[in-house]
Every structure is written in C-alpha cells, then in structure tokens.
Structure 1
Amino acid sequence: MTGSDPASGPAGYDVAVIGAGVVGCALARAFTLAGARVVVLEKAVDVLDGASKGNSAILHTGFDAPEGSLELACIREGYRLYHEVRERLGLPLVQAGAMVLAWTEEEVAALPALMDQAVANGVTDIQPLTGAEARGQEPQLSDRVLAGFRVPGEHLIDPWSAAHGYLLQALANGAVLMRQAEVLTGRHAEGLWQLATTAGPVSAGLVINAAGLWGDEVDRRVTGESWFTIKPRKGQFVVYDKTAAALAGHILLPVPTKITKGIVVCRTAFGNLLVGPTAEEQEDREHASLDRETLQALMRRGTEILPALARHEVTAVYAGLRPATEEKHYRIRTDLAPGYICVGGIRSTGLSAALGIAAHVVRLAAREFSPLADPVWPRMPNISVEGPRDWQCPGHGGVVCHCELVTRREIEAALSGPMPATSLAGLKRRTRVTMGRCQGFYCTAELARLTEGRLAQPMLDPGHV
C-alpha cells in the first residue's frame, strides 16, 4: 500500500480505479488533478505488471486508426497531452518519425488508401516515397523495398516512465495506491460502492474498471455480468544489442492488416533495436511464453528489412499480452451499473491513448470536483538515451549495472519514495537494471544484497521475476 492509509483516511473515496496499468495510472492522475479523492487498486505486487509491461513504446499519431473512432479521438488527444506534460514530468521523447514500407505489389496498391486515411485522421504531413527515396533516407534498408510513405510525427518513448509519472503525480497530489488488492466483489447502495479486496474493504462513489487483461472478469465480480470477453493476443519481441540501433533512424512499419499492425523494426528509447511484435491468439491471460521458431522468424524478418542486422547480436527476447476482445474498437461504457465505468479492450494503442482515454472518461463521469489550483509536478529520472543520466553526476555511489549504466543511487531511489519497487520486475522497469547485454550476470549478486528485505518476492527466491 502506498500513499495515505485508507483506514485512517476518509470514510470513502470519490473514485476507485481498478488496475494500475498505463490507462489506470492516467485515470488516477486525471481524476486526482480534477480534485477527486482517488484510490488505485492493483492485484499484483507492483504496477504495470499486466499488459503494460510489454509493448513497442511508440507514441502514435493515429494515422492508421479507424476513421471517426473513439480510439482515434483518444490517440489524438493523448498524443497532444503527452507533448504538453512530458517536459514537466521529465518524460523522454525520441523524434524518430516513421516509414510505412511496401514490399510487394499488393502492399504498394494499398498505400494510397492508407495515405488517404492518414489525411482523414488529421495527419496531413505524410510524405509519399519511392523505394529509392526510402533507401535514400534509410541506407540500410533492403533494396527489395518498393515504396512507402513517411509519417514525421511518430515518435519513440520510454514504455514505463510515462505510466510511472502519471501515477506518481496522482500520489503526490493525494491519491492512494493499494497493491496486492485484488477486487473480489462489489455492491452498490445509496450512491456508494462497497468493494471487497484482498487488502481489505474499499468504498467509493465511482468505480472505474481499467483491469486490462482481466477487465471482463472484474465486470462480472462487480456488476454481476460482462458485456465483452477478453481474448488475449500475445506479441513476441526480439531486442538487438545497442550497436544495431544505428541501422535505422526511423520507425519502420509494415502495411497493416485487419488483424495487426504487423512487425515493426525500430530503435528503442534505451538505445537498442527492436523487432516485433507477433499477434498470436491464446487463452492464458497470465503467461506470455516465448517460442524459439517464432523468435527465429522475427529475426529472419528483421534481416529481410535490414540485411546488416544479421551481423548484430540479440540482447534479449520478451513477450507481452494485449487485452483484445471480440471487436476491434475500445470497449468503454457508463451504463452497466450506477457509478461504474468500464474501460476495456484497450489493445496496442493504450500507451499513446492513455491520457486521452483518461480525459474522455473524466468527461463521461460528469462529476463535480474542485480542480487542483497548483498541483505538484514530480519529475521522473531519465533512463533513456535522450538527455543526461545519473552516472554522469557526482555522488551516485558507483555503477551497479554496467550494461545499462545504472547507479546505486538510482536503485536506492527506486526502492524508496511514494511508489517503491516491490519486485525485481518493477525495479527493472524503473531503472533498467539487469536488462542489458549480460542480462544480470554481473550485477545480480549486488542487487540481491541491495534489495534484501525490500521486495515482496526476494531475488533469491527461485520464483522471482
């Protein structure tokens, strides 16, 4: 539990947000700044432990979102709001731009409609490219590329510091975070929800279901029924060593299909090069297993796009799950029960749209609060390649993780404060410790010493993640 103790706080909260993924964190921030008393309920030991822990970390313009959709509106507002708040919160932005590339005549034929869709979606600065023009801007591209177009506004961001920053601002302005607080049941009476959780009872006037991969189950537990079904979609990724990042300046996008945006090749905010994701349907909501043949296929696809990639080593592989549903669009409703809003089906665009979704839901709630006149603006520590790092500043106590240049001071800071890391995975997302080339081979022993007694699951426990 983080923030003020609910037992000694108000009799009830104005808003209870279920789920501390990127959307839940953005919702907590938006309602807190609007003046509401907010509690965030997360069933895991740390935040961002579900769908938000694995993504491609791209800030999308919405150029290829369904025209006139709620998804498009939220992406566009989220994109604008990220640009508005990122400097005050200390969030990174790598202005890469993207290229949508066609490799077959069929894909070439699809480009005009995609460009028309981009313009209809308000992205009017796209630039058509011949194959030669694409290779002129990206010399390492295979000479098999036939055509494409450039989207200057697509950017790279840190996939986790944004959500951490949103939630930290909520906590700094009075919100409460309860971890290991799985919602079991809900009952609404006299304008107030009574939620039973594994961390104790919580009461709130408004309940927002942002439970991601468990959104339909939370619907059933709280309201008695669900109007959609989560169909987990797994995405596997390959991450190449930092030497490979020089091969591509742009985010290299395929021509999307009706099912998926396809395999992307791009740099990361941390100086690596990423290939992925896949789009694989599965039933399991908790485990995103890795498949050797699939990963090898990703590597082959990467070298088909950038032939020189064959000379670079893979640093890591990972997989994430997206909370897809029977339908492609966002599943947001306010009429399932009094004082209850379901925010479901936020699939691959949640990182880009989170702030826009939060603003939309605040408007839907139509509650009268007193907006904070002078809110606190915490700043996130920079762990991206953009801007100075802690190891460059005196007094950092030494570098613990040499692959990612993570200092002892950064680790200590991540283990303390209003939202301390409570798992190794959470510590990784806050600092990138053990996520470099050696994957923790050299720093794990020192980390185990530094984190002893401070994690919900000790590093020496063979089941830690």
Structure 2
Amino acid sequence: MTETVAGDSLYDIAIIGGGVVGCAVFRACVLAGARTVLLEKSGDLLEGASKANSAILHTGFDATPDTLEASCVQRGYALYRELCVDMNLSVVETGAMVVAWTEDDLAQFPKIIEKAARNGVTVRRLDARETREREPALAGDVRGAVLVEGEHLIDPWSAPMAYARQAILNGGTLIRQARVERGVRREGVWHLDIAGRPAMQTRTVINCAGNYGDLVEAIARPSPFRITPRKGQFVVFDKTAHDLFRTIILPVPTALTKGVVVTRTVFGNVLVGPTAEPQEEREFPTVDHDNLEALRKAAFRIIPALREHDVTTTYAGLRPATQFSDYQIEALKTEGWITVGGIRSTGLTGALGIAEHVVTLYRDRFADPAPLENVALPQMPNLVDELPRPWMQPERGPIACHCERVTEKEIETALKDEVLPTGTLGGLRRRTRCMMGRCQGFYCTRRVMELAKAHLPGLVTPIGENQRGDGRDV
C-alpha cells in the first residue's frame, strides 16, 4: 500500500531511501516475507542519485575482482535478465567496446581482458579494421577495441519503479515526503522521528540513503564512511544522431573513473558523459560551460559525425562516493541495522544483487520469515523506442508531448495510478518521457500542467494565474 500507515504500526523492516537500491531492497524484503515500509524524503521515488545515470546494464567485466561490488553487479545482471520479460522491462542489446586511441590504451588491453576473465565475462579483442567494420562512424585513427557483447541499454527509471510497484502490490508500504530526522532504539525496536509525521516503529532499519547515507548512518553509530558526492555531467545529442552507431563506446578506464562514454539511449538520443567531479553539495548538481564543452569535444573526437547534430539538453547527477572503492554493506546485529552505502555508478545494474545480499544478511542476523507465495507481478508500460509505444495505436487519443510522442492517456494513467501515482513533475517525466524531448517542454508544458494540476496540488500553478487568484497575469 502507498502513503497510509498508522502511527503505532510496528514493521519488521524500515528502509530509508527510495532510489534504485532502496526500491530493489524494498521488493526483496517484501517478497522474503518481512513486513516492510520504504521511507523516501522527497515527493517521489528516484529523486536523488538515481534520477541521472547512463542507463547501461553492466556485465561487471571491469569490476575489481573478488569484491562485493563485482559479485552484486554480476548477480544483479543475471536477476534483471531473468525478470525483465515478466515485468515488461527493456533490454536493448547493443554490446560495448572499450576503444583504444593510443599505444598506451592498447597496452592496457591485456589487463582489461584478464580482469574480465576473472569476473567470468567473455570478451574479445578486435584490431583496428574489425573495430571500424563494427562501427564505421568512429574516428579513423582508432587502434582497436575490446568487445563486450553482454553490455546493453535499459530504461533506467522503469526498472526501479517496477521493483517498488511489485513490493506495494505484495503488501509493502511506501511513504513519501518522509524525512527521517533521528531515531532511538528501545527494547529491540527503533523509534524513528519523521518530519511532520507520527514516529515510525520498526525492528530493523536498512540505510539506503544514497548521498545522505553517512548522515543517516549517524542515527545508529558514528559513520565509518563519508559521502563526498561525485558529480557527473552529461550532454544529450538530438535524436538525429541516434543511427550513427549502435555499440556502447567505452574509454580505457582510469583509477578515478570509467571515463567518458558515448552511447545511444533507449529513448532515441545519444548520451555523452559523465565527468567525475567531487563536491560537497549533496542535492543540487550544476552544469558548467567548460566541462560540457569538453564533453562535446570528446564526443567529436570519438565520432566526428556528431559535429553535424545539435545538443538537445545537458544534465548532471551525483553519485554517492566514499573514501572506499567497494560497496559499504554491513549488518549490525546488536543495533538492528543494515548499512547499504557507497553504491556509485553500478547501482542500476547491481541493485537486484545488492537486495539479494541484504536479504541474506537479514535472514542470517535478524529473522527468517516465510517467503511469499503467489507473488503478484506488475506490467510496466513501455517507454523504449525499440518496441511499440502507445502513440502508434490507432485509438491513441491526443498527444500531449509531440517531441517524445507521449499521449495524454499515458500522462493521466501515471497521475491516477492507484498503486504508485506520480508525486512530482520529475516523477511524471520519468514515468512518461513528457517534457524530455527536443523542445524541453517549451511546447507541451501548458498541456501537461493542465492534466497534472488536479493531481499535484501545490506543485502545479496554472499558467496565467497569479497568487491573488483574480485571473490577471502579473
């Protein structure tokens, strides 16, 4: 159920943080048989680090072997491939190439291939001719590549929404606008103070708070890690560039970052990024001209034909980096607490593997409930251009967003959803693609606001009305 909970309810598990990892853990805990509530401080899910990523389903070929991250990414990849068909989630099969431009890059290939083998991922080395044959649009001085056929593209928002939806359909509770401010543990029960709401009681807390993970951790103990958000800026090229190439183009990675990726998106654009910039601000990533211009130049260097295509938009996201290279996941038995921190750029792929690991910790340290039977499966609406979409249907009704071909019915369905209704305008965009196209909402915003105003009170001000309500523009 969503948004309804009695103040004196006692949960088995309270999860703090509704990003992709929190949603996956929510699903896993509910299906494991635990009475679970997900607490999200914002008005909708995926409002933090999870709203901005490169949307790649990773094999884990380049993860540090024998780490928790490597095992969770590999397991998450396998679990996603198992359940995506049942939930109508996308996988656009593209493969990826780690591309070499210099002799130094080529010298790294044996290490990349060896690491992939240690991670159980089969890769193949291509010479310059084979690389150009696969992707003719690459710059002519390409020296070779390592082909990773299992790397693919997915919809980065429908997947975590599906995890949360399945949890709710099977008895889980979601509470949005529920910022946990403090907590105290008495006689084996956590009493969590939530801003503007009754205190929440739970036997176990799972910290999935992303960029606020170290601050939330301080509720239970002095945090053993510190979050220093790592900003990643992205450039999005117009849909006219989509057919220039198909394979995800990866750079030879460094110790700090996987580097600048050039990839298509499942929504029909071309994405370039991210940068890797540490910052103290945890919530508001900014973009700047110099870094964005550097991304454009990097894209032109890799695929020269991109010079002929316009940039649709730019954006930035924050990854919850810590001083440690691996995930920070730990069960504190005496505190009734599980820490899930430091989940950086691999969180989208690793989420299901992380969730499975967390449930194992819960069963080992706290309780062993009976798994649910007759589990309900959600069916997610398709947002991917590679598959049929509602606008293609003869009885589609009016289109609200012409750039992204989003129908009014899709927007209304997201707003009126009885299981997981949209809570913010950003949430509406992530559920439908509205206002995300070439015009960035310039033409469709008015109609979208008209459709949304009854469902998002306080968030949508009808255009042309002022605070006095007399109908005159100010």
**Under a length normalisation based on structure 1, what TM-score does the superposition of the two structures give?**
0.96
Q: Does the 8 A contact of 2:220 with 2:335 survive in 1?
A: no
| Equivalent residue, structure 1, for 2:336 | 339
How far does residue 458 in structure 1 lie from its aligned partner after superposition?
Answer: 2.2
1:368-395 CA-to-partner distances (Å, cap 9, x unmatched) read 1121111110111001112111112344
Q: Is the 8 A contact 1:99 1:253 kept in 2?
A: yes
Q: Partners in 1 of 2:454 and 2:409 — Cα distance? A: 18
RMSD over aligned Cα atoms? 1.4
Partner of 1:157: 154
Assess if the C-alpha contact under 8 Å between 1:322 and 1:348 holds in 2: yes
Q: What amino acid is aligned across from residue 135 of structure 2 in structure 1?
A: E
Aligned residue number for residue 385 of structure 1: 385
The superposition leaves residues 331-356 of structure 1 with CA deviations (integer Å, 9 ceiling, x where unpaired) of: 11112752100100000000000000
- What is the one-letter code of the residue matched to 1:355? L
How far 1:459 moved relative to its partner?
A: 3.3
- Residue in 2 aligned with 1:423? 424
* Structure 2 unaligned spans of 5+: 464-474
Report the AA paired with residue 47 of structure 2: D
SS in 2 for 1:459: coil
1:189-224 Cα deviation digits (max 9, x unpaired) = 22211111113211111110000000000011x214
User: Helix, strand or coil for the counterpart of 1:310?
Assistant: helix
Give the corresponding residue for 1:235: 232
Distance 2:458 2:88 in 1: 30
How far apart in 1 are the matches of 2:251 and 2:137?
A: 16
Counterpart amino acid of residue 27 in structure 2: R
Counterparts of 1:139 and 1:200, CA distance in 2: 60
Residue aligning to 1:86: 84
Q: What is the rounded CA distance, in whole Å, between the counterparts of 1:306 and 1:444 in structure 2? A: 33
Distance 1:299 1:457, change over 3 A: farther
| 1:11-410 mapped onto 2 (5 Å cutoff) | 11-124=9-122, 126-198=123-195, 199-220=197-218, 222-335=219-332, 337-366=334-363, 367-410=367-410
Matched residue SS, 2:416: coil
In structure 1, the residue matched to 2:4 is 5
Matches of 2:14 and 2:245, distance apart in 1: 43
Partner of 2:448: 447
Determine if contact 1:90/1:381 at 8 Å carries over to the other structure.
yes
Partners of 2:231 and 2:279 within 8 A in 1? yes
Query: 1:461 offset after TM fit, Å?
Result: 8.5
Give 1:437 deviation, angstroms: 0.5
Could you tell me whether the CA contact under 8 Å between 2:94 and 2:248 is conserved in 1?
A: yes
1:3/1:174 contact within 8 Å kept: no
For each residue in 1:275-329, what CA deviation from the matched residue of structure 2 results, as whole angstroms up to 9, or x when unmatched?
0000011111011001011111100100100000000011111100000001111
Amino acid at match of 1:155: H
CA distance in 1, matches of 2:381, 2:14: 28
Q: Percent same amino acid at aligned positions?
A: 51
Alpha-carbon distance between aligned partners in 1 of 2:172 and 2:333, rounded to the nearest angstrom: 26
CA distance in 2, matches of 1:30, 1:259: 32
Which amino acid is the alignment partner of residue 449 of structure 2? Answer: A
The one-letter code of the counterpart of 1:201 is A
* Structure 2 residue matching 1:132: 3-state secondary structure: helix
Task: For residue 160 of structure 2, give the secondary structure of its aligned residue in structure 1.
Answer: helix
The one-letter code matched in structure 2 to 1:189 is: R
TM norm structure 2: 0.94
- Per-residue deviation at 1:456? 5.3
Name the residue aligned to 2:467.
Answer: none
In structure 2, the CA distance between the partners of 1:394 and 1:375, relative to structure 1 (3 Å rule), is farther
In 2, Cα distance between the equivalents of 1:168 and 1:265? 31
Task: Please state whether the residue corresponding to 2:175 is helix, strand or coil.
Answer: strand
**Equivalents in 2 of 1:109, 1:336: separation in Å?**
47
* 1:241 to partner: Cα distance: 0.8
